[in-house]
Amino acid sequence: MSTPPVAGASALPLETRAAVLVEAIPYIRRFAGRVVVVKYGGSALGAAGAGGEAGVLARFAEDVVLMVSVGMRPVVVHGGGPQIGALMERLGKTPRFVDGLRVTDAETLDIARMVLVGKINRDIVGALNAHGPLAIGLSGEDASFISVAERDPALGFVGDVVGVDASVPGRLVTGGFVPVVATIGAGERAQAYNVNADTVAGALAAAMGAEKLVLLTDVPGILERPDDPTSLRAALDVAQLDALIATGAISGGMIPKARACADAVRHGVRSAHILDGRIPHVLLLELLSDAGVGTMITSAEER
Amino acid sequence: MSTPPVAGASALPLETRAAVLVEAIPYIRRFAGRVVVVKYGGSALGAAGAGGEAGVLARFAEDVVLMVSVGMRPVVVHGGGPQIGALMERLGKTPRFVDGLRVTDAETLDIARMVLVGKINRDIVGALNAHGPLAIGLSGEDASFISVAERDPALGFVGDVVGVDASVPGRLVTGGFVPVVATIGAGERAQAYNVNADTVAGALAAAMGAEKLVLLTDVPGILERPDDPTSLRAALDVAQLDALIATGAISGGMIPKARACADAVRHGVRSAHILDGRIPHVLLLELLSDAGVGTMITSAEER
Amino acid sequence: MSTPPVAGASALPLETRAAVLVEAIPYIRRFAGRVVVVKYGGSALGAAGAGGEAGVLARFAEDVVLMVSVGMRPVVVHGGGPQIGALMERLGKTPRFVDGLRVTDAETLDIARMVLVGKINRDIVGALNAHGPLAIGLSGEDASFISVAERDPALGFVGDVVGVDASVPGRLVTGGFVPVVATIGAGERAQAYNVNADTVAGALAAAMGAEKLVLLTDVPGILERPDDPTSLRAALDVAQLDALIATGAISGGMIPKARACADAVRHGVRSAHILDGRIPHVLLLELLSDAGVGTMITSAEER
Amino acid sequence: MSTPPVAGASALPLETRAAVLVEAIPYIRRFAGRVVVVKYGGSALGAAGAGGEAGVLARFAEDVVLMVSVGMRPVVVHGGGPQIGALMERLGKTPRFVDGLRVTDAETLDIARMVLVGKINRDIVGALNAHGPLAIGLSGEDASFISVAERDPALGFVGDVVGVDASVPGRLVTGGFVPVVATIGAGERAQAYNVNADTVAGALAAAMGAEKLVLLTDVPGILERPDDPTSLRAALDVAQLDALIATGAISGGMIPKARACADAVRHGVRSAHILDGRIPHVLLLELLSDAGVGTMITSAEER
Amino acid sequence: MSTPPVAGASALPLETRAAVLVEAIPYIRRFAGRVVVVKYGGSALGAAGAGGEAGVLARFAEDVVLMVSVGMRPVVVHGGGPQIGALMERLGKTPRFVDGLRVTDAETLDIARMVLVGKINRDIVGALNAHGPLAIGLSGEDASFISVAERDPALGFVGDVVGVDASVPGRLVTGGFVPVVATIGAGERAQAYNVNADTVAGALAAAMGAEKLVLLTDVPGILERPDDPTSLRAALDVAQLDALIATGAISGGMIPKARACADAVRHGVRSAHILDGRIPHVLLLELLSDAGVGTMITSAEER
Amino acid sequence: MSTPPVAGASALPLETRAAVLVEAIPYIRRFAGRVVVVKYGGSALGAAGAGGEAGVLARFAEDVVLMVSVGMRPVVVHGGGPQIGALMERLGKTPRFVDGLRVTDAETLDIARMVLVGKINRDIVGALNAHGPLAIGLSGEDASFISVAERDPALGFVGDVVGVDASVPGRLVTGGFVPVVATIGAGERAQAYNVNADTVAGALAAAMGAEKLVLLTDVPGILERPDDPTSLRAALDVAQLDALIATGAISGGMIPKARACADAVRHGVRSAHILDGRIPHVLLLELLSDAGVGTMITSAEER
């Protein structure tokens, strides 16, 4: 394989290597054949790690490939808000807002599709396929598998998820492929709409009967006091999560993420996770070791 | 169905309707379950018909849906040269040339992917899905199913097809879907390359064991004397086609089309067709009636 | 294909041909993979069309072959009362009657089986197979798939349908064949019985979960006033049909046909049709065009 | 089961019953899942046994049902020459001959089909189905599975077998059914022809890769001296069989039977048998016990 | 086949052979594809027949092979109490008892496994495989398919059946193999336990949805008066069986056998049989002839 | 999972854990779905590790379970020479020798089967099943899947492998189970024979098309100078291996091991390994890390 092993790995004593691998056994067995939906966030895309953006994406790809290798069935969902804005700017397109929300006219929709489907989706597919012919890109328009309804005529082509045909990504997953999903949905007569990526990830996890939903972000997880990193909540049930939203402890961009997690868990996903995408291989650590990272949301019974 | 029937259709006498349908029987039976690869050209995309561009695409979509309905397995391949140039221009990108060929640097490649995968592919998928959840977009990068090699370092990311994994579109086709293929290929470590769409269509037809390859263009077919529409050759075998290239009767942009047809036929595709995409429903007339349209290329034995 | 195209078809302008084919799209899509049971009546068999009896049967065969070609799954059911009478006469057999109904003794049963299974069934199978190896003849005795009970000892071997094993014709249908069913049923210890063909067609349509039941007759459809062709009822729900029987508007040989339609619809068949088999290609016009012909019976909800 | 056990069976001591069953073990194991083609001859149909004709047919049916029960896959082929002649006579039809062979005009063909498909085939199907829904009648016309060519225009509709589509009876056999085949073949455009039943049985056995071909006749087997029953040859290889034809020891109606056996063996059928259908349960004795009956033909290597 | 036919079998007249085979038809048809669980008892193993122990086992093997040959799916269960005791004695191991029940310490368990899995199971597998590669040995430890719970700590490794995973033997049975099951069960963390063989046979029959449970013993069946062989009850329903236990007519080692039969029948097994394993081929006589042997237990409705 | 993680594992920094897991990716991907045959030696069984014998077996079981978890298909083969000797001794059985080789009479064979099938096989099955219902024990007698021929009448029941029916363990492997194979083979009429376990492992690896054959021993690998541990050969091709046998560098009990490796590689097994079973988790280190352990034998081309 072309990825160079992390420096120092071969220097480890045999017992240490064995210990790590043995520790992974029960997790590998538990998750074999299960779907795990991973939202790879626009922010994570922009987080500059040791190796720069490309390094972040390459490490993320390694984690997904390892998930496949040990028998899990990952599905990647991504958005791309900042990159859409950047292209609009380059094309001299002035954003319009209604009640603080961006209006998506036909041209903006075209730009969003070009960035999401034609650029970010392609980059993720390419990073995964560097390990072998594994990934296939999808948009919710394909076979109209993500159905949406228009949220508000004043906002233009902004949609809310009203249905997911899990058989389209499911067919790929059982064929051994990793679907990489751009969050464009299909409305009446297959009209395209832009949709929130966290919401799509949650709905997809529920529709596919996923074991886990993982949202990669650029924060450590859910903090009881937003400015205090020591107030990280390692585990919450959905009622506790609701309470944190109600009290305002969860606010801003974290609200749709929290809601996506709660909805997925309420529809049968075993656990939802909000992780810090800036930690190298955080996905793999969450999935295959005893190390506790980020915030895990489950049903009250599951706890 | 929402597409309004063509005016006058319902005014036809019963015998006329019956006659047309009965005429279609042997064609439907012969092509049932067979793959037909249709290249939907950049030029055809730009041809302004009675209903404007959207009307052209909508009629093309009707033809493809009818193909599916009678049991054929269409695969759509498309390019998009003019549209790529248009976005480059808007983004203030100055083209560079080497020996008269456009240099595709990393930024140009990004633009090509955004246009092909994120715009044109989406528009075709949408037009088909207006009839139901039928079409799924693909790029040759997906599962690296179109393998390419770099043509010339001086040209940058321009590739030549070296392999096609027919199982990727094949899986969709047997699932009842219409793959719509953007002509980006995958090289070493899944690096993306731009590829000629006619060539991809021919290679795909050969790899999938297609019954037919159809190239939709904006000319009536192959003319013995390029400026004389009455010199249309209705049928050619591959040797005759080679001769027309050798004598210079076929020239310019028609050369890669002619070569793609010849290659496909030499690799077992029963017939290749160069049709005039400006004739409404030309695809359907070629496939389901005794009307002879355009140029058909076959092997000498087949003739 | 050997069937000569109807004169004038090739003279039609391209747009007209395209218009008819495009009009067929939604019907083809709606009926794909669905079973359509067609009762080809003894009377239709005897109706002399332009090409004589053979011409009628050949056109009927074309329609059934087109149904197969566009993905429908036709099942043909036939009777043959007049032809049975003719052979009895030639063999010097004197008919006996009880309360106006013909007594079927063992010899009459033998004659009925020879005519239905050995003659009419063979002729229909042969007309279909002239287009390719499509049709397989069945009798309700085969694997005893049509179970009957004796109606009245005084009538001899006359049976009423008590069960249909849809898997026997179903197996053929999914294998791509057209079952052609002679209406002999199997009683206790596989004893053969003669059965009414309209009733068998209705029961078979219900058992196979058919989309449509079509009875081809030699009248225009159901007339509100039997002698007035302008009183044709184009569409009826089952309650309206019952009412027409109750008032006597439907009488004589039309009663078992009307009842077979009503029973089929009540058991889940989407629509039942009484068509005039004397109109060339009436089956195809009913199935694939907007032309309204004959009488359609549906449930009240379906209307 | 309704068939009464043969008198005396229940009086047998336990050891005797056990001995017979144990003796059958190796035969049952050897023939499990194998196709056995049995020609049930017109003569055997006419042979009067203890229980009359019906008794003969009922015993034959028991044997076939037992074959099915122990895992063999029997296929029954039948002719019906004498019965065709009888119906022709009743219908006042005068036979014509050319060079001593019966001319089959269109009316004679109709009569042959009515007798073979509509009468004899039905009787055999009925006798088998008295034990359960086992048998399905076929004619070589069904899906044109027995292809024939006209022998001689002067003879009319008399055909020679030129091909057998084994998948049509094979589909029934793997579905657990017993095909009962009437020997009408299909020529150009599905035209029906009368064919020799022994020849059909041999060709069918070869095409289906049968283990055995069994011809039930009304003679003890092949006799070295036709009038001397003690000259029965219990086993012959195909060369010995050819020699007996060459010397004239085999003559008359036995010639087509011998040739059918030789052809089947030359095309891979393990053994062919000419048995005396007048011995009760002779089929079962040949197949499941050490008792040697009739004549067995094999290849020289097999011997 | 190598088993010599029973003397005198070939001397039987043809009609007698035919009669026995015909008598078997309805039984073969009824039991085709059905699972029959046969407990081959420790006592039967020790019963000396005409051919000594080996002769008894060889005859039992013939019966099981014939069951397979006619399409049944036999499963053999065996114990081996006396043989375990014998090996313990040879190894100088002194048995300990608690309340009259043998204590199974770790060493005794090892001896039991060696005898059951390593000796008796092997002998039965070998006797069956002498006829071909038919039998595969299993222990309840394999894939832990027989789950047990410890009965009483004072007794050591003695278990009670708490669950059976029928898919493990079922997979072999559908593959055409005969599972031969040694009655060791698996407890917590796969710890082995000794289990009563009659109970395992009953539980296995219930879990596999068996048609029959047959217990081979060394008594004629259930006697109303234990010492009076003429008081054999040929048929009992489960209530009658319970009554005979309650009154003490059934006592000692017959109690677990009676209970296993009653439990199996109560869980859907059609009939349970207690047969005298000393009668040669008793299994085959019970299964394939009208001869009534031993005691049959059914539900009241079944009677 | 109940196995306690190795002390110190949870103390490892996140990067170290990630490094070990990432290092395993290419190995996991390469071996997914591939069969690996592991010979678990009698000597390894007797090697006393930190946790005693049980500890060695438990660690071996962990490695096999991890192999299953990451998608490999392990097959375990075992012998048990020393343990057979021990039981013979306890039973007062005096060994006899011919030309220095132990004579295996019927009683010795019974003892060997009891120890191998009834004791060692059970212990390995149990250790694996402590992690879940994974392992199923087999002996070469089961379905006679290991065919043997008698080596020498003077030696009694000692066999040489002449054939392996890979479908028997293959069926279990594709069902997700781990076959654990005791090395008893089946001769004529299913007679049992004792066979060398190294030879069986090699033949099984070849017959199953295994990726790897691994022999666990109690030496570091193949040494060029038997008494000099620093002379370990890490990699050999089969010709080099043959040379070491010819020169006598390989001798004694290592010869059958070396030959089994060479034979397996010559029959298509990608690599064969002789590892030191005393190193904890040596199997896992060989399979999933860059650490080089023991001796690897490949074809010359493979090197």
- Count H helices, E strands: chain A? 11, 14
Q: How far apart are CA D7 and CA D25, in angstroms?
A: 24
Which residue in D41, D42, D159, D170 is the catalytic one?
D42
Give the best residue of A125, A145, A177, A193 to mutate against chain B (max B CB count within 10 A).
Answer: A125
Strands E184-186 vs B35-40: parallel, antiparallel or unpaired? unpaired
Which chain E residue lies closest to F126 (C-alpha atoms)?
E190
Q: How far apart are CA D72 and CA A31, in angstroms?
A: 47
- Domain E27-298 is of which CATH architecture? 3-Layer(aba) Sandwich (3.40)
Could you tell me the two tokens for A168?
Answer: 């389209």
Residue D194 backbone phi and psi in degrees, to 5 = -85, 140
In this structure, what is the dihedral angle of CA atoms F172, F173, F175, F178, given to the nearest 10 degrees? 80
- E156, β-bridge pairs: E104
Could you tell me the two tokens for B72?
Answer: 């054929």
Mean pLDDT value across residues C170-183? 96
Contact A24, F21 (CB under 8 A): yes
Question: Around Cβ A54, how many Cβ atoms within 10 Å?
Answer: 11
- Count H helices, E strands: chain E? 11, 14
Partners of F190 on chain E (C-beta within 8 Å) are: 125-130
Chain F: partners with 3+ C-beta pairs within 8 Å: A, E
- F287 to chain E, any CB pair closer than 8 A? The answer is no
CATH of domain C26-298: 3.40.1160.10
More confident residue, A83 or A202: A202
pTM: 0.79
Helix axes B106-115, A106-115, angle to 10 degrees: 130
The pLDDT tens digits for B194-215 are 999 999 999 999 999 999 999 9
Positive or negative CA dihedral for F237, F239, F243, F245?
A: positive
What H or E segment, with its residue span, contains residue E71?
Answer: none
Catalytic center residues of A: 39, 42, 81, 198, 257
Which chain D residue lies closest to C140 (C-alpha atoms)?
D136
Positive or negative CA dihedral for B283, B286, B291, B292?
A: positive
- Split at pLDDT 50, 70, 90, the class of C32 is confident
The pLDDT tens digits for C99-156 are 767 789 999 999 999 999 999 999 999 999 999 999 999 999 999 999 999 999 999 9
Q: How far apart are CA A150 and CA A145, in angstroms?
A: 16
How far is the CA of F224 from the CAs of C195, C298, E88, F231, F233, in angstroms? 91, 89, 48, 5, 7
Reported ipTM: 0.89
The pLDDT tens digits for E236-282 are 999 999 999 999 899 888 999 999 999 999 999 999 999 998 888 88
Asked if pLDDT for residue E26 goes beyond 90, the answer is no
Mean pLDDT value across residues B178-193? 96
- E271 to chain F, any CB pair closer than 8 A? The answer is no
- Split at pLDDT 50, 70, 90, the class of B42 is low
What confidence score (pLDDT) does residue D144 get?
Answer: 97
- D36, β-bridge pairs: D74, D212
- The three-state secondary structure class of E165 is coil
Which chain B residue lies closest to A125 (C-alpha atoms)?
B142
The pLDDT tens digits for F65-112 are 989 988 899 999 998 878 898 899 999 998 887 776 778 999 999 999
Question: Around Cβ B257, how many Cβ atoms within 10 Å?
Answer: 25
Mean pLDDT value across residues E188-212? 96
Contact yes or no for C28 and B65 at CB 8 A: no
- Split at pLDDT 50, 70, 90, the class of E41 is confident
What confidence score (pLDDT) does residue C99 get?
Answer: 73
- F91 to chain E, any CB pair closer than 8 A? The answer is yes
What confidence score (pLDDT) does residue F48 get?
Answer: 37
Mean pLDDT value across residues A171-190? 96
Question: Around Cβ E267, how many Cβ atoms within 10 Å?
Answer: 14
> Number of residue pairs across A and B with CB atoms under 8 Å?
114
Asked if pLDDT for residue D8 goes beyond 80, the answer is no
- F13 to chain A, any CB pair closer than 8 A? The answer is no
Q: How far apart are CA E80 and CA E114, in angstroms?
A: 11
For residue E254, which of E272, E271, E274 has the smallest C-alpha distance? E274
Could you tell me the two tokens for B172?
Answer: 């969709």
Asked if pLDDT for residue D42 goes beyond 60, the answer is no
What H or E segment, with its residue span, contains residue E167?
Answer: helix E167-174
Contact yes or no for B284 and C70 at CB 8 A: no
Considering just the CA atoms, what is the radius of gyration of chain C in Å? 19
Residue A236 backbone phi and psi in degrees, to 5 = -140, 150
Average pLDDT of chain F, as a whole number: 88
Burial class of residue E68, CB neighbours in 10 A (0-12, 13-18, 19+):
buried
Mean pLDDT value across residues D233-260? 92
- The three-state secondary structure class of E36 is strand
CATH number for domain D37-298, candidates 3.40.50.1580, 3.40.1160.10, 1.10.760.10, 2.60.40.10: 3.40.1160.10
Partners of E32 on chain D (C-beta within 8 Å) are: 69
- F173 to chain E, any CB pair closer than 8 A? The answer is no
How far is the CA of A259 from the CAs of A77, E300, F186, in angstroms? 16, 59, 64
A28-298, which class in CATH?
alpha beta
F276 flagged as catalytic: no
Which residue in C39, C80, C237, C294 is the catalytic one?
C39
Positive or negative CA dihedral for C52, C58, C60, C62?
A: negative
Which residue in D39, D49, D277, D294 is the catalytic one?
D39
Distance, in angstroms, between A86 CA and closest chain B CA? 12
The pLDDT tens digits for F195-237 are 999 999 999 999 999 999 999 998 899 998 888 888 999 999 9
Which chain C residue lies closest to B4 (C-alpha atoms)?
C23
What confidence score (pLDDT) does residue D3 get?
Answer: 40
Average pLDDT of chain D, as a whole number: 88
Distance, in angstroms, between A31 CA and closest chain B CA? 24
How far is the CA of D146 from the CAs of D41, D167, D194, D203, E291, in angstroms? 19, 11, 11, 9, 47
For residue C6, which of C52, C58, C64 has the smallest C-alpha distance? C58
Could you tell me the two tokens for E252?
Answer: 């000692």
Q: How far apart are CA B301 and CA A66, in angstroms?
A: 52
What confidence score (pLDDT) does residue A10 get?
Answer: 64
Contact D211, D272 (CB under 8 A): no
Asked if pLDDT for residue C190 goes beyond 90, the answer is yes
- Split at pLDDT 50, 70, 90, the class of C244 is very high
Contact C94, D100 (CB under 8 A): no
For chain D, give the DSSP string.
--SPPPTTGGGS-HHHHHHHHHHHHHHHHHHTT-EEEEEE-HHHHH---TTHHHHHHHHHHHHHHHHHHTT-EEEEEE--HHHHHHHHHHTTPPP-EETTEE-B-HHHHHHHHHHIIIIIHHHHHHHHHTTSS-EEEEETTGGG-EEEEES-GGGBSBEEEEEE-THHHHHHHHTT-EEEEE-EEE-GGG-EEE--HHHHHHHHHHHTT-SEEEEEESSSS-BSSTT-GGGB-SEEEHHHHHHHHHTTSS-TTHHHHHHHHHHHHHTT-SEEEEEETTSTTHHHHHHHSS---SEEEE-TTT-
Q: Which residue has the tokens 């240490």?
A: A16
Asked if pLDDT for residue D169 goes beyond 50, the answer is yes
Asked if pLDDT for residue D65 goes beyond 70, the answer is yes
Q: In chain D, positions 220-259, which contact chain C (CB-CB < 8 Å)? A: none
Q: How far apart are CA E135 and CA E77, in angstroms?
A: 12
Encode chain B in three state secondary structure. CCCCCCCCHHHCCHHHHHHHHHHHHHHHHHHCCCEEEEEECHHHHHCCCCCHHHHHHHHHHHHHHHHHHCCCEEEEEECCHHHHHHHHHHCCCCCCEECCEECECHHHHHHHHHHHHHHHHHHHHHHHHCCCCCEEEEECCHHHCEEEEECCHHHECEEEEEEECCHHHHHHHHCCCEEEEECEEECHHHCEEECCHHHHHHHHHHHCCCCEEEEEECCCCCECCCCCHHHECCEEEHHHHHHHHHCCCCCCCHHHHHHHHHHHHHCCCCEEEEEECCCCCHHHHHHHCCCCCCEEEECCCCC
- Split at pLDDT 50, 70, 90, the class of C250 is very high
Contact yes or no for C26 and B62 at CB 8 A: no
Q: Which residue has the tokens 């290991």?
A: F146
> Number of residue pairs across C and D with CB atoms under 8 Å?
112
Which residue in F80, F81, F140, F156 is the catalytic one?
F81
> Number of residue pairs across D and E with CB atoms under 8 Å?
143
CATH level 3 topology of F32-298: Carbamate kinase (3.40.1160)
B198 flagged as catalytic: yes
Burial class of residue C59, CB neighbours in 10 A (0-12, 13-18, 19+):
buried
What confidence score (pLDDT) does residue C7 get?
Answer: 44
Positive or negative CA dihedral for B193, B196, B201, B206?
A: negative
Q: Which of E110, E127, E137 sits opposite F119 (nearest CB)?
A: E110
What confidence score (pLDDT) does residue A106 get?
Answer: 93
Which chain D residue lies closest to E60 (C-alpha atoms)?
D22
Mean pLDDT value across residues C186-204? 95
For residue E149, which of E138, E160, E157 has the smallest C-alpha distance? E160
B30-298, which class in CATH?
alpha beta
